[in-house]
Every structure is written in structure tokens, then in C-alpha cells.
Amino acid sequence: MASDSPARPSGKRQDTLDWAECFMAMAFLAAKRSKDPSTQVGACIVNEDNRIVGIGYNGFPKGCSDDEFPWSKTSDNPLETKYLYVCHAEVNAILNKNSTDVRNCTMYVALFPCNECAKIIIQSAIREVVYMSDKHAHKEHTIAAKRMFDAAGVRYTQYKPPHKQIVIDFTEIDWDSLNQVPATPKKDDTVTDEVDMRKLSLKERL
Ligand SMILES: [Zn+2]
């Protein structure tokens, strides 16, 4: 079988993250900011051009100190549990948006949204939710969320990551040993010979 456009290897990397994997990883990375000792959830909202327009994680509202408000799940006094105060990742991601709105966007989120978040997702016109875990599928708040998503036409799909892990290693790139041309002059250094030469040739041309 003849091919009219033979493959021309460009030498590009093949093992890159695809978009969905990248956005879900962003949600997981945001979750690492959460102070909640039991559940850390992150959410990442992406528009139709694959641009990130909002990221959030579960936490208390601004001004409500993580050191003063309770993170406990149980207490004789409901006022001393987290539930009355915590703002879920989905809501924070929507509120943190850097675009006019999140209409027709997709939300990547670690855990299936609860009914309260589902209401806000629907009202903000997000049209798709991609989630990893559905561990509360049997609970009323998830059943109600799905009922509302179904009625409102919000798609939801469980994400199966192609890799089990994405490792971020800050030492992977040894910036100090990378050669730069021209070398970046250090603040307290005199200008390098190389830069001098460039200046000189520029003057000559003028
Ligand atoms: Zn929620």
C-alpha cells in the first residue's frame, strides 16, 4: 500500500502527557494545597481551547483561618465540624476563574461533585465533568448530583489515567549547568567578553 505522505520523523518527544491527563494532574496538584486532613480535592476548569480558566481546592473562605476553624469531621457540636465552613474545590475553581465565565467549559475534578457543587456547576453552564473517584456513589449527595446533571444535560465521565503516576522531580533539570548563549550576566558581574563583542559589532554596524 503506497503512502502519499511518508512519515517524516521530527524527533519530537513521544511520551508527553495528553490534555486530559495534564488537566487531571493539575487538579491533583491543586489538591496538595488543601489543609483538610481527611479529604484533599482539587478541580481544574478548562475552556474549549484547552486553556485553563480556573483552579481550586477545598478550603475555608478567605479570612477564616485554617488554624482557628475546625477541620474535624465529627463533634457533638456541629459548629465544630468542617462541614459548615469548608468551600469545595469545584466552587473555588469556579470563583477563581480568570475568564468572564465558564460557559461550555469542562471541569476536571478528583472526586465526583456533591449536590451543592453540582448546582453551581450547572448554573455556571459548565457542560462536562471529568472525575476520577466516585467513592460516594451510594450517598444521597452524589445521587442527587447525578440526577441534576442528567436533567440539565451536564455530561460526566470517569477518567482512567494512562499512567499510574506522574512524578515531578525538581532536580530533573540542572539549571545551573545548562549553557545559555549568550550567558546571562550576573548582577554583580562585569559584562562578559561575549556580550562586549556583541555590543561592539552592533556599534560597528551603526
Ligand atoms: Zn461539593
Number of domains in the chain: 1
In angstroms, rounded to a whole number, what is the distance separating the alpha carbons of residues 130 and 146? 13
Give the distance (Å) from ligand 1 centre to CA of residue 116.
5
- Please tell me which residue in 21, 68, 90, 140 is annotated as part of the active site: 90
- Asked whether residue 43 is domain-assigned, the answer is yes
Residue with cell 460526566: 156
Domain presence at residue 90: yes
List C-alpha distances in Å: 36 to 23, 57, 77, 130, 131.
22, 10, 19, 22, 19
Q: Compute the distance from residue 162 Cα to the ligand 1 centre, in Å.
A: 26
Q: Is 82 exposed, middle or buried (0-12, 13-18, 19+ CB in 10 A)?
A: buried
Cα angle: 120, vertex 126, 129; to 5 degrees: 95
We report the CATH number of the domain holding residue 107 as 3.40.140.10
pLDDT band at 111 (very low <50, low <70, confident <90, very high): very high
Query: What is the pTM for the complete model shown?
Result: 0.80
The answer as to whether 86 is a domain residue is yes
Question: Which chain residues have CB less than 5 Å from ligand 1, an ion?
Answer: 88, 114, 117
How crowded is residue 167: how many other Cβ atoms within 10 Å of its Cβ?
A: 6
**Residue range(s) defining the domain that contains residue 123:** 19-158
pLDDT digits (tens, 9 = 90+) for 147-195: 999 999 999 999 999 999 999 998 888 777 766 666 667 776 555 555 5
Residues 6+ apart with CB under 8 A from 114: 88, 136, 141, 142, 145
